[in-house]
Each structure stands twice: as C-alpha cells, then as structure tokens.
Amino acid sequence: MALYDALFTQLDVTSSQLLVTDNDFRDSNFRKQLSETVKSLLDLKVIPIFNENDAISTRSAPYEDSSGIFWDNDSLAALLALELKADLLILLSDVEGLYSGPPSDPQSKLIDTYIKEKHQGEITFGGKSRVGRGGMTAKVKAAINAAYAGIPVVITSGYATDNIIKVLEGECVGTLFHQDAHLWTTVKDVAARDMAVAARECSRRLQALSSQDRRNILFAIADALEQNKNSIAVENEADVAAAEQAGYAKSLISRLALKPGKISSLAKSIRVLADMEDPIGRVLKRTELADGLVLEKSSSPLGVLLIVFESRPDALVQIASLAVRSGNGLLLKGGKEARRSNIILHKVITSAIPASVGEKLIGLVTSREAIPDLLKLDDVIDLVIPRGSNKLVSEIKESTKIPVLGHADGICHVFVDKSANIPMAKRIVVDAKIDYPAACNAMETLLVHEDLYKTGQLNVLISELRDAGVTIYGGPRASSICNIPEAVSFHHEYNSMACTVELVDDVHAAIDHIHRNGSAHTDCIVSEDHAVSETFLRQVDSAAVFHNASTRFCDGARFGLGAEVGISTSRIHARGPVGVEGLLTTRWILRGSGQVVDGDKGVVYTHKNLELQS
C-alpha cells in the first residue's frame, strides 16, 4: 500500500485498501453496500484497492482445493467487476497475453481474441506464477467467468508502457475475452481461403451487373465517403496522434494524414472513374478465322487482388474504387499505423456495395499473421500488389507463387542539361522535390551538366532548393567543389525534404548514372536541345520518362486513369501508374456455326481482321 500511495500521490489522488474475504460476498447486505462504497470513494478522488484479508480468510488450502467464491486476485477482480457492473476488466500479467503455447517458444502465437469453442482444450498452461497464486490458468478462468457473464476482459502485460491506456483506446494489445467473440468474423476466425473465395464469388456477381449498375456503386461509394467525412477525420486524427506519440518519422505521418479536402478529392476522383468507358468486356480485336467463325479478344477482370500497403489510408479508397470499376474481388492489408482510418474507410465503402453483390467483395485483413496464409493461395488469388518499403516488397516476392506487381523504390532523377531554360529548371526541380517529398515520384537525385557549375547555375539550383527548405547532400564531385556533405549512397530514397546533387559530363553520363543507381520509376530531363532530349527519352529505361515536366506528374489521376492501384516498375503486364487497365486481362471468345476441326480438312482459314463494332 505504501507503493500505491506513492504512485497515486503523484497524480494528486489518494488510495485506500479494502480487505475482503469469501464470506463477505455471501452477505447480501455487503454486496448491496459495495457499489455505493466504491462510488463514494471515487467521487472523493480515492482509488479503492481490493485485497484478500489473509489474516481471517476462511478459504481452504491448498489452492487447488479451494471451494470459496474467489480463490486469488484474478478471480476476486472478476467477481468485483461483475458486482460493480464494470465496462471492462483488465488483468495484468508478466507476458503480453494468452499464447498458443509457452511464450518463450518462438512458434507460439499471441491469441488476440479468445473464443471458448475454438481455444478451450487446445491450450495447455505451464506452471503457476512466481509472484501470484494461480498464474495464467487462474487469469483465463477468471476472464472466462467474467466475459460470459457480460463483462469484456483483456489480459495484457503489466510491464509494457501505457498498456492500460492502449486497451482503453481500443488498440489490439493482449488477449480479449468477450461473450460474443464466437460471432465475430475476422480473418483469423474465417480461413484465409474462405475470405478469398468469398471475394471471388462477389466479383463474379459484380461482373454480371450492367455497366450502369457498376457505375452506380462507385457513385454510392463517393457519396458515402463525403457523408461520413467527419467520422473518417476523427479516426484518422487518432491514428496521426498515435503515430506522433510513437515517434514515427515525419514522412510516414505525412503519408498517414488525410488532410482537409482529401475525402472530397477522393470522392471526385471516384466519380471521374465512374464516368470513364466501361473497361469490362471491351472487344479489343475481331478476326474472321473462317467463313462463319469469328474470334474476339476482349478485356476481362483478373479475379482476386491482394493489396498490401503501408501508411497511406487514401490508397485504400483508390484501390477499392479501381477494384469495383475493373470487376475484381479485393483483399486489403494496410499498415498498423493506419488501423483506425482503414477500418472506418472499409466500413463506409462496403456499406455502399449492394447486397446483390455482397460486402465481402472487399475484405480487410487486420492481422499481419494472416498474410503468409493468403500468399499461399495461388489457386484463388490472381495478383499481389505491395505498396511500401523495399523490405516489404522483397519479403512478399520471396514468399509467394502468385504474380507480384509493383515497385520497391522510388529513386527518381531530374537531369538539368547545359541547354536548359534555368527559370524553368528551377520550377521543375523545386516542385519535383517539395510538392510531396514522401511520394514515390518525388525527386531524390538532381543531376547537373558540369558546364552549369562553370557558369554558376549549379549554385543557383542549390540555393533555390535550400530556400525551399531542402537539405542538400552531394555525390563525390558535387560535395568536393560545392562544400556540401557527401551522400552515403546514390541508391537512397529520402522520402523527406532532402536530396542528392551530382555533376555529370553529359546526357550519356546522366543516363548511365540513372541506370546504375535508379529504380526505373520516373526520370526527367530539362533541356532545350531536341537531340539531347530525344536521346534521354529513348534510352532511359524507366517506367516513366519526362521532358521538361516535374516527376510528380507520374500519377494515375494526373495521367487520366481516374486513380491508381500503385506504380509498377515491372517489365511485364503493366508499367508505370497502374489504373483500371492494369487490373484487367484478356479472354478469347469464338462464335461459330457448327464448325469442327476434323484435322483442318473442312476448314478454309481466312484470318481476316474485322472492324470493331461500336
């Protein structure tokens, strides 16, 4: 009690000890007075701390033979929670929560939600606690008793900083016990395969709708986002505040925040997407194979997409709208830092999907542990698109047979040629760096023709960037002659207000530098020399190559794609900003009048191209 007094005194709160025994709870008068006593103490800013009155306890020994109403502090806490009609009971342990095996075993997994029907009998408990009477066995018994009587319970670590606050704020820490847990459908309760199969079935129903009906779903999603923008803002602000408190990098927080007007902007882009030509079932080519035998090549949805993305909740909206427009089922896994934002956005979007299609068209994966299971489903999931760090993309590529589309790094270059219009170059360079430094299409390296150092224009460009708040690092040549810190590596994505500057001999040296150090994302030349510009545009082997335009234009919406599911640096299927067309494949449809091959004896092939019908 001296320790409790010392702790609570720092908060200007008094603590008091209430000693109880089994027999006290057998007294109906005591139980009636209990709630009033606690309420009165709390009104007086006195924290009541209950403990067993060991001196006069009638509980039999040893512990296992106890037949009393409570048998340790955990069961006493559960009993008090029920008597006081508490909103929540938190039981603190020396481990993170309930594990599937010994917590020290690397194969053991933390059980975030206890389901009696699923976990009872599966879990074996170790020895009793070194500091308590019953250990985890007693905690689980107490938690089950309270939870199935209507009091939610969380078992979590008492050693981790702010765990009680995290539980109260709804963070997924520890193990939750709830009487309705068996009714909840999370990705852990429903097999990963079931989730993917459900998305495929819903996608087929979506494809069966008329073009107008699919458009109407997008309009409904746009309306729902605008109608719920205040609720979305509240959840997003909570994510941002938590990220700031956790000390996340500013670049991540920038990607995480849904700035004012962002929801309206997203809704507008969804309506633009809805007004575009229907991408499904478009006839791309018609060929007469033989008389009365016509072959059509038409666009078709891929099937089921798995998108794993970090930080940016607005990506969820863009990806979901593209999936609806392209007729694909979708499974989404966002970063934990955007958990609240992703949950509310997913709820708003799926609520706008009609029952005739089904809200399982778009599934939200909330558990990181589910990803390995999903990546094994190469017979159900047709494409994986990771949006995040190089590490994330590499891990996914190494873990699945499913085709993977995307980019690892966004190391974008701007090369300022000696013929460049310098005022134009300043505008492009500054915009490419500071418009959105955390974006994958932001400039990370500025390459400058060596003649511009001799004319003093290099210093002009560096000063322009510094005036805009950009920290400058140099390659070996630039750092030595401009007296700036040398960059650790050319292959570095800052994602912040910083960039590398280096001198090159000419356009060929610039192209060579980009091929050696770039990521084949987006690269730009600023030049007034037509021959030099065309050399750069033809020879730089990147997904997007620009002349006299900011790298920030590499974006699905700016390209007129409506939105983008990501930017791909792959060499097959889709490259650059991936919009609706990147989420489609093709099918062959043959219309005949009874023809058979029969060793090709009776078929006269014409292979004549036919006009596409409007």
Query: What string of DSSP letters covers 65-102?
Result: G--SS--SHHHHHHHHHHHTT-S-EEEEESSSS-BSS-
Asked if residue 65 has pLDDT above 60, the reply is no
Three-state SS for 293-357 is EEEEEEEEECCEEEEEECCCHHHHHHHHHHHHHHCCEEEEECCHHHHHHHHHHHHHHHHCCCCCC
Asked if residue 24 has pLDDT above 50, the reply is yes
Rounded-to-integer distance, Cα 38 and Cα 49, Å: 10
**Binning pLDDT at 50, 70 and 90, where does residue 289 land?**
very high
**Binning pLDDT at 50, 70 and 90, where does residue 596 land?**
confident
What is the topology classification, in CATH, of domain 202-398? Aldehyde Dehydrogenase; Chain A, domain 1 (3.40.605)
**Binning pLDDT at 50, 70 and 90, where does residue 187 land?**
very low
Can you list the alpha helix ranges (DSSP code H) found in 490-608? Answer: 507-517, 530-539
For Cα atoms 582, 583, 587, give the angle at the middle one, nearest 5 degrees. Answer: 100
The pLDDT, as a whole number, for residue 189 is 42
Rounded-to-integer distance, Cα 435 and Cα 555, Å: 13
Least confident residue range of 33-37, 63-67, 420-424, 538-542: 63-67
The pLDDT, as a whole number, for residue 108 is 76
**Binning pLDDT at 50, 70 and 90, where does residue 239 land?**
very high
Predicted confidence (pLDDT) per residue in 416-446, tens digit:
999 999 999 999 999 999 998 988 899 999 9
The pLDDT, as a whole number, for residue 22 is 80
Can you list the alpha helix ranges (DSSP code H) found in 115-191? Answer: 116-119, 135-147, 163-168
Asked if residue 337 has pLDDT above 80, the reply is yes
CATH 3.40.1160.10 for domain 2-183: yes
The pLDDT, as a whole number, for residue 66 is 43
Residues 490 and 515 sit within 8 Å (Cβ to Cβ)? no
The residue whose two tokens read 């505008």 is 427
Predicted confidence (pLDDT) per residue in 136-153, tens digit:
888 898 899 899 999 999
Q: Sort residue 338 into left (φ over 0), alpha (ψ -120 to 50) or beta.
A: alpha
Residues 173 and 98 sit within 8 Å (Cβ to Cβ)? no
**Binning pLDDT at 50, 70 and 90, where does residue 59 land?**
low
Q: Using N-to-C axis directions, what is the helix angle for 507-517 and 530-539, rounded to 10°?
A: 20
Q: How far apart are the first and last CA of the chain?
A: 84
- 64 exposed, middle or buried (CB, 10 Å; 0-12, 13-18, 19+)? exposed
- Cis peptide bond prior to 48, omega within 30° of 0: no
Give Cα separations from 269 to 45, 72, 494, 560 (angstroms): 53, 59, 28, 10
Strand residue runs (E) in 379-526: 383-387, 412-416, 443-449, 471-474, 498-504, 522-526
How much is the average pLDDT of 61-79? 67
Report the Cα 506 to chain-centroid distance in Å: 42
Asked if residue 196 has pLDDT above 50, the reply is yes
Pair of tokens at residue 604: 């006269």
For Cα atoms 155, 158, 160, give the angle at the middle one, nearest 5 degrees. Answer: 110
The pLDDT, as a whole number, for residue 192 is 82
Asked if residue 133 has pLDDT above 70, the reply is no
Closest listed residue to residue 414, CA positions, set 393, 441, 387: 441
Residues 311 and 338 sit within 8 Å (Cβ to Cβ)? yes
The residues pairing with 93 across neighbouring beta strands, listed in sequence order, are 157
Asked if residue 310 has pLDDT above 90, the reply is no
> Structure pTM?
0.66
The pLDDT, as a whole number, for residue 128 is 52
Rg (CA), the chain: 31
Question: Percentage of residues in the chain with pLDDT exceeding 90?
Answer: 59
The H or E element containing residue 220 is helix 211-227
One DSSP character per residue, 11-46 reads TT-EEEEEEE-HHHHH-HHHHHHHHHHHHHHHHTTE
Least confident residue range of 189-198, 407-416, 550-559: 189-198
Using DSSP bridges, classify how beta strands 383-387 and 304-309 pair: parallel, antiparallel or unpaired.
Answer: parallel
Determine phi and psi for 503, rounding to 5 degrees: -90, 145
Rounded-to-integer distance, Cα 593 and Cα 552, Å: 53
The residues pairing with 512 across neighbouring beta strands, listed in sequence order, are none
The pLDDT, as a whole number, for residue 62 is 42
Give Cα separations from 440 to 319, 361, 409, 568 (angstroms): 17, 29, 7, 11
The pLDDT, as a whole number, for residue 572 is 80
Asked if residue 186 has pLDDT above 60, the reply is no
For residues 310 and 305, the model is more confident at 305
Asked if residue 215 has pLDDT above 50, the reply is yes
Pair of tokens at residue 71: 């048998």
For Cα atoms 251, 252, 257, give the angle at the middle one, nearest 5 degrees. Answer: 100
The pLDDT, as a whole number, for residue 126 is 55
Give Cβ neighbours of residue 499 (< 8 Å, ≥ 6 apart). Answer: 433, 443, 444, 445, 446, 465, 470, 471, 472, 473
Asked if residue 551 has pLDDT above 50, the reply is yes
Residues 449 and 526 sit within 8 Å (Cβ to Cβ)? no
Amino acid residing at 406: G
- b/e burial code for range 179-193 (CB count within 10 A of at least 16 → b): eebeeeeebbeeebe
Rounded-to-integer distance, Cα 594 and Cα 601, Å: 15
How much is the average pLDDT of 390-418? 88
**Binning pLDDT at 50, 70 and 90, where does residue 131 land?**
very low
Mean pLDDT for the chain overall: 89
Predicted confidence (pLDDT) per residue in 359-389, tens digit:
999 999 887 778 888 998 999 999 999 887 7
How much is the average pLDDT of 475-489? 94
Asked if residue 102 has pLDDT above 90, the reply is no
**Binning pLDDT at 50, 70 and 90, where does residue 68 land?**
low
Residues 89 and 155 sit within 8 Å (Cβ to Cβ)? no
For residues 610 and 189, the model is more confident at 610
Give Cβ neighbours of residue 2 (< 8 Å, ≥ 6 apart). Answer: none
Pair of tokens at residue 476: 């070996």
The pLDDT, as a whole number, for residue 63 is 42
Residues 321 and 348 sit within 8 Å (Cβ to Cβ)? no
Asked if residue 312 has pLDDT above 90, the reply is no
In the structure, how many helices (H) and strands (E) does the chain have? 22, 22
DSSP character for 450? T
The residue whose two tokens read 């690269």 is 523
The pLDDT, as a whole number, for residue 132 is 47
What is the topology classification, in CATH, of domain 412-569? Aldehyde Dehydrogenase; Chain A, domain 2 (3.40.309)
Q: Where are the domains of the chain?
A: 2-183, 202-398, 412-569
